[in-house]
Amino acid sequence: MTNNTFLMSEAFTNQLNAASRLGSDAMKSEAYMLLSIHAYENFKRSVDDAWQRKELLYASNAVEVIGMHTNKWQFWMSRFLLAGACCSASNYERAFNVSTNTIHLLTLSGYTNFPTAVEGAILQKFEMGGLEVAEALRVMAGMSAAELGLGNAATNLAHQVPMPYRNTILNFIR
């Protein structure tokens, strides 16, 4: 993910498509997550809505494939990517719901882990390097709440994340 040329290459995309059909649920979910990121990068480059729809489809597939395996990092990261894909589609209500529901599940499950290299690379790709998934979900939820005009929710979430993300959310509130 740190090498955009490789990430965007046809050969790597073909490998991801093959991995999305074979292997464990965790591997399939990872492949769909990377395909979602690939589509997001293409969407940013082309502003072609077809890529945004693919980003959302692949993120949804990653969530579906991993199922309710809350003990796996793919469960949490796939939902982060789904919320991000919803933001790309300007569906902030769904992004807020996905983020806050995932935060709630994360709290209930007691799941904690140090981010894997893949998680860290994904978060870095979305300019949230150094955060844990729970914090990144709070940033996503806070920004979505701000976009929706939910000032109290956005402020509450902003105070749960480190600087400079806190200021970003607070500055975005209308």
pLDDT tens for each residue of 56-71: 999 999 999 999 999 9
Using a pLDDT cut of 90, give the percent of the chain over it.
75
pLDDT tens for each residue of 22-32: 889 999 999 99
What tokens appear for 127 in the block?
């300019």
Q: What is the mean pLDDT of residues 75-80?
A: 96
pLDDT tens for each residue of 45-54: 998 999 999 9
pLDDT tens for each residue of 84-134: 999 999 999 999 999 999 999 999 988 877 778 888 889 998 999 889 899
Nearest Cα to Cα of residue 112 among 133, 84, 138: 133
Q: Which residues contact 45 (CB under 8 A, 6 or more apart)?
A: none
- Check pLDDT > 90 for residue 12: no
